[in-house]
Amino acid sequence: MKTTVEIPDELFRRAKAQAALKGIKLKDLVAEGLRLALAGADGSSPRRRRVKFPLLKSNRPGSLKLTGEQIAEIETRQEAEQYAPFVRR
């Protein structure tokens, strides 16, 4: 169903950016948000999502010894590569 909704400009910009980062349409992000809001409104809890931890593969088990800073740097680099197509230049 189509409808018109007025939202503040800043909220619209943030929602549009979030949708782009997720690689989905704004209307899908809005529908997802409504589902979450309504799931909590009737007393039920929203479906939990399984958490995915980053996996670092090694050729030899036990040979990978990284500091927290090194892991954070790897994660930051991977996120930058993942979201690069959505960043305006």
Domain membership flag for residue 4: no
In-domain check, residue 2: no
Domain range spanning residue 43? Answer: 9-84
CB 36 within 8 A of CB 46: yes
* C-alpha dist (Å) from residue 68 to 52, 72, 80: 18, 6, 18
Whether 1 maps to a domain, the answer reads no
Does any domain span residue 21? yes
Cβ-count burial 58-87 (b if 16+ within 10 Å, e if not):
eeeeeeeeeeeeeeeeeeeeeeeeeeeeee
Rg (CA), the chain: 19
User: Stretch 7-26: mean pLDDT, rounded?
Assistant: 92
pLDDT of residue 7: 92
Region 8-31: mean pLDDT is 92
Phi, psi of 71 (to 5 degrees): -65, -45
Domains: count for the chain: 1
pLDDT tens for each residue of 35-86: 888 886 665 565 677 777 766 666 676 666 778 888 888 888 888 888 777 7
